[in-house]
Structure formats: structure tokens, C-alpha cells
Amino acid sequence: MSEISNYEAQKKKLQGLCDEHNFTFRFFKDRYPITLVITPINDIATQMDMLGNVEETGYCSQDSSMCWYFENSELKTKVKGTFSIDKVLRTKIENILLKMISFWQQYFFRDLMENGKLRNFGVPGPDVPDSNSQRDSQQDTKQDAPQDDPDDDDEAAEDSAEDDTEE
């Protein structure tokens, strides 16, 4: 599967999780830091249902939201209003989010590198050769190196054997 397919699969999982718990989400991937905002569905029937199941599902006020963002290699959270979910659900959301961020960044970087988009902004590509280039250059070096004559090796072995017997 490609990175974008993996990203879409995780997004679909998150959508299912949100539908199951009467949430909506927005994933902001076009700015830094990448951000996920989850809010409760704000219709009256859903709010009444949520109040009836507050012991099992937790309580979220109408204007509440939970925001996760990945900044400086750390997943951070901000809560607005009263947004209460259990630890298992929160862990599931965070695991899906981390995968979504990872797949999106992989897709984004691959797209930039393969299409040379960084060069359009004057940013040079990385100065690290890929593994195929390293293998090719090692093979070229081996081919360019002078080959020893196998007969010379036999003569050298005989000379060393003679040196041992002369003593």
C-alpha cells in the first residue's frame, strides 16, 4: 500500500470511531503543526442522548472541543469547554492520529522529492546518496580496480613456501 492509501485507511478508521461516539473531526494538514480537532455533534437529539449516557460515555458541552497537535516531536492536547472521554477512546484516537501524521508526512515528502518541487524554491535536495547509488558506485569501483593475475598468486605462495624451507 502507498502512503496515501495508508493515510486514507486511518482517516476512515477515525471517521468510524467518531461516528460511533457522536463526534465530528477536522484534520488540518496544510499548516504547522498538523492538528486534529474533535467536537461533539451539536444537534439536540444527540445532546439529549449524551446526557442520558453520561455515566458510560462521558459528557461534552456543546461548544467543547479537543485538539491534538504534534509539535517538537511531542503530541500535545488542548481542551476547550467540558470534553470528557474515557482513556481507552482517547488512546485509540491518539494512536490513529499518530499513524495519520506519519503517513501524511511520508506522502508529502515523497511527493516533494519525486517531483522536484523543492528545487522550484531554490532548496537543494539532500546530499545523501540513495542505497542504489552507493551499490552502483561500489560496483563501479570494483570494476575499475586492476585485477590481480591468479598465476601471480600461485608464484607468491611458492616463494613464501621456499622461504620457509631454506631456513
pLDDT digits (tens, 9 = 90+) for 50-93: 555 545 555 667 789 999 999 998 999 999 998 888 899 999 99
| CA–CA distance, 107 with 1 (Å, rounded to integer) | 12
What pTM was computed for the model? 0.64
- pLDDT category at 33 given cuts 50, 70, 90 is very high
Domains contained in the chain, CATH given: 3-121 (3.30.160)
Q: Identify the helix (H) or strand (E) that includes residue 94.
A: helix 87-114
* Residue 145 burial (C-beta neighbours within 10 Å; 0-12, 13-18, 19+): exposed
